[in-house]
Structure 1
Amino acid sequence: MSLFKVILILLAGTAAGFLNTVAGGGSLITMPTLIFLGLPSAIANGTNRIALMIQNIVAITNFRRKGFFDLKLSLMLSIPAILGAVIGSKIAVDLPDEIFNKILAIVMIGVLALILLKPQKKLTSNMENLSTKRQIAAMIAFFFVGIYGGFIQAGVGFIIIATLSVITGLSLVKINSLKVFIVALYMVSSLAVFIINGKVNWILGLTLAVGNGLGAWLGSNFAVAKGDKWIRIILVIAVLGMAAKLLGVFNF
């Protein structure tokens, strides 16, 4: 692996880790970057999951330390999510690169809209409702969340936040603590599917993980409220450019 690739992967990972910490959507940067470096879409998808799994393990530790951790509910939602993730991962492994790239481009634009509009904040309610019916509804919903996460993963955090906000009314802090645990668990199963099918580049994946870790550290240790405007501007430009590339609008 050339020095250029190492630097590019570290920069992409750092940007992704930072974005995932302060807003979300980091995979919108790392997935296209891996594809642009020449990895087939399935391998880029599997490789990206190494860094994401490590990142979520770190996040789980932090939430546990702060006392925001509901093991029972997390496991309850993780089981259907894991089943869905296996299905989604198998679809991603077998899908031709050209089709996957076009789907990814459309998803990137959709997730970008979620980032900019922040519908999850409008959906959040102060009225928690964890009745049996609500829990069953959440389990069914998370089976489909798992399929999406296993298939593409990019932007799944926003989907989880919106889903739990509507169904349970939990606070964003509690939802985020559930999110990182559920994603970490189903990431293991989906990553296993990619590994079994030989769709992981370990060198790039571990290098990316270093960048993600650095970005997460930067994002959690610096106040970025004043920089939010610029983060969004950069994200919009980067995502639209990468989506245009994936759709074949132009080459670079």
Structure 2
Amino acid sequence: MEITSLILLLIISFVTSIIGTLIGTAMLIMPPAMIFLGVPVHTAIATARFSMLGIGIGNITKFSLQDRINLKYALPFAIAGIFGALFGASLLAKIEENVLKIIIGILMISISLLVLFEDRIKPSSKRKQIRLGHYALSIIAGLFIGAYIGVIGGGGATIIIFLLVLIYGLNFKDAVANQKAVTLPMTITATIIFVYQGLIDYKLGVPLLLTNLLGGWVGAGLLLNFKNKWLKIILIPIMVIMAVKLIFF
């Protein structure tokens, strides 16, 4: 990759890691951006997933200092997600490149709609007394979301945020923080599979991981004063345009 393309990708990565921290859409942006800059589809997905380790580490470090992560919410979800991610990541190399482009494009549009209308569909954030049924729901959801994150993962974090609010009644900011503890083990699991399959481009992945680490730390610090209206105005049209290009061109 040319140096100008790499610099552009690092800038996109930094901004995306902040956005991904706040609303969970980093994997919807990075793989398409890498594909547009000439990275093969499977390599783009695997390398982007590897770089997400940076966001996860930056986020969890910052949120732990803020005492926002509670393992009783995250742990059942995360453990189930590890098994789901093992299954999903093993499927990636078997899916045709053109099919992956269409799947990514459709998911970009779907998650854009979810983010656009989140205020209307967001469940009540009244914290619930935890029962066995809540853990059962977390395990079932974790298996499915983990498998999805293992294959592609774009928008998976956004869905987990909503599920944490729905299942446990967390407020939005606590759900964002605990979602990071859910997704990091899934990301580690998927990355191990991608390393074994030889799909990761480390010349791209390592700089992106370091950039994401910085962006994840910055994004976690911004969460307390975060208002996402401006992000929707800027981000959603870009995501829809990129999705249309992936599907039809």
C-alpha displacement at 1:182, in angstroms? 1.6
> How does 1:159-178 map onto structure 2 within 5 Å?
159-178=159-178
Matched, 1:30 2:30: yes
Q: Which digits, 9 at most, give the CA deviation of each residue in 1:101-152, with x for residues without a partner?
A: 1000000000111111115872132131310122112111111111111111
Change (3 A) 1:214 1:27: same
In the alignment, what sits opposite 1:89? 89
In the alignment, what sits opposite 2:3? 3
Matched, 1:75 2:75: yes
Q: Which digits, 9 at most, give the CA deviation of each residue in 1:12-37, with x for residues without a partner?
A: 10221121233331222211011122
Change (3 A) 1:222 1:137: closer
Structure 2 SS opposite 1:94: coil
C-alpha displacement at 1:72, in angstroms? 4.4
1:34 partner letter:
M
Q: Which digits, 9 at most, give the CA deviation of each residue in 1:176-203, with x for residues without a partner?
A: 2321112111111111111111110111
Is contact 1:12-1:208 (8 Å) kept? Answer: no
Is contact 2:54-2:210 (8 Å) kept? Answer: no
Separation in structure 1 between the aligned mates of residue 76 and residue 227 of structure 2, nearest angstrom: 37
> Structure 1-normalised TM-score?
0.89
In the alignment, what sits opposite 1:198? 198
Change (3 A) 1:232 1:5: same
Is contact 1:124-1:172 (8 Å) kept? Answer: no
Change (3 A) 1:80 1:227: closer
In structure 1, runs of 5+ residues without a counterpart are none
In structure 2, runs of 5+ residues without a counterpart are none
1:190 partner letter:
A
Is contact 1:84-1:147 (8 Å) kept? Answer: yes
Change (3 A) 1:23 1:74: closer
1:88 partner letter:
G
Is contact 1:120-1:165 (8 Å) kept? Answer: no
Separation in structure 1 between the aligned mates of residue 194 and residue 176 of structure 2, nearest angstrom: 26
Is contact 2:59-2:219 (8 Å) kept? Answer: no
Larger deviation: 223-232 or 149-158?
Answer: 223-232
C-alpha displacement at 1:227, in angstroms? 8.2
In the alignment, what sits opposite 1:49? 49
In the alignment, what sits opposite 1:127? 127
C-alpha displacement at 1:240, in angstroms? 1.6
> Structure 2-normalised TM-score?
0.90
C-alpha displacement at 1:228, in angstroms? 4.7
C-alpha displacement at 1:225, in angstroms? 7.2
Structure 2 SS opposite 1:247: helix
Q: Which digits, 9 at most, give the CA deviation of each residue in 1:156-212, with x for residues without a partner?
A: 121112222222212333322321112111111111111111110111112222332
2:202 partner letter:
W
Change (3 A) 1:196 1:112: same
2:64 partner letter:
R
CA RMSD of aligned residues (A): 2.4
Matched positions, count: 249
Change (3 A) 1:87 1:169: same
Separation in structure 2 between the aligned mates of residue 245 and residue 97 of structure 1, nearest angstrom: 15
Larger deviation: 95-104 or 12-21?
Answer: 12-21
C-alpha displacement at 1:231, in angstroms? 2.9
Structure 1 SS opposite 2:130: coil
Separation in structure 1 between the aligned mates of residue 169 and residue 22 of structure 2, nearest angstrom: 22
Larger deviation: 184-193 or 18-27?
Answer: 18-27
Q: Percent same amino acid among aligned pairs?
A: 29
